[in-house]
Amino acid sequence: MKKLFTFLLMAVLAMSYAMAQTVLFTETFDNCKGTGGNDGNWSGNNIAAGTFSTDNGGWSASNASGAKQCARFGTSKNKVLPQPLK
């Protein structure tokens, strides 16, 4: 019985710890507009050639463009990593 009680107590403590986490940063790319990505279009003209607009300012990347609620960075020949807020 003591082992069961200890197990249940540990489970409750673990769950409360997991639920007490704080979000430090969120970027949804929901403000990005264009064709491709979340609308199910993956090929064709003007895919991911729309407006790149973020929830949080300060992003920088060469060849950044938007699609429907998502972003594209770089090109097939020039791969880049975006630089978020500093």
Q: Is the pTM of this model over 0.85?
A: no
State which residues form the domain around 62: 1-75
Q: Is residue 84 in some structural domain?
A: no
Q: Is the dihedral of CA 49, 34, 72, 26 positive or negative?
A: positive
Domain total in the chain: 1
Give the whole-angstrom CA distance, residue 7 versus residue 37.
45
Q: Is residue 83 in some structural domain?
A: no
Q: Is residue 46 in some structural domain?
A: yes
pLDDT digits (tens, 9 = 90+) for 29-73: 999 999 998 888 888 888 888 988 988 888 877 788 899 999 888
